[in-house]
Amino acid sequence: MKFIFALLLGLSLVSTGFCADSFKQLASIHDFAFGGIGYAGITSEGEILFREIYSSDSAKNQFRDLLKVGNIQAKCYALVALKKLDPEFYKAQIEQFKKSKKNVSTIGGCMIMVTPMYSVSANIDKGDYDTYLPHK
């Protein structure tokens, strides 16, 4: 019984560290991208990290924190998540981003673009990324 408890505790600590690493990496992600990217149509690093955080028990708080400390691309991922996880908080935050002229590095398919935040946030608000949300 002690062995099982120790094993579960160890796994818990490993997964917590894994999630912290995902948060740190997503906070400084270079591009905002969902769906297949590049010639091979691979899943972006940002989307993989987004899904890891989204599946955690603390997803709502982590995405709230990401909205505070992340770079502009990370804030886009946070807004996508918070639209579903915390709609009231999302509604209180989205308007400021819809007015922002900061540039977001985005990837769509094979196209790497610099897109103004007001455009990306308008697309988030109208639900363009909702289909990429894992069911929770």
Please determine, for residue 79, whether its predicted confidence score (pLDDT) is greater than 50. yes
pLDDT tens figures, 5-42: 333 334 443 444 446 799 999 999 999 999 999 999 99
Tens of pLDDT along 86-132?
Answer: 999 999 999 999 999 999 999 999 999 999 999 999 999 999 999 99
Check: CB of residue 26 under 8 Å from CB of residue 53. Answer: yes
Residue 98 structural domain: 2-132
Say how many domains are in the chain: 1
114 Cβ contact list (under 8 Å, min separation 6): 103, 104, 105, 106
Among residues 84, 85, 34, the alpha carbon closest in space to that of 59 is found at 85
Asked whether 52 and 22 are in contact (CB, 8 A), the reply is yes
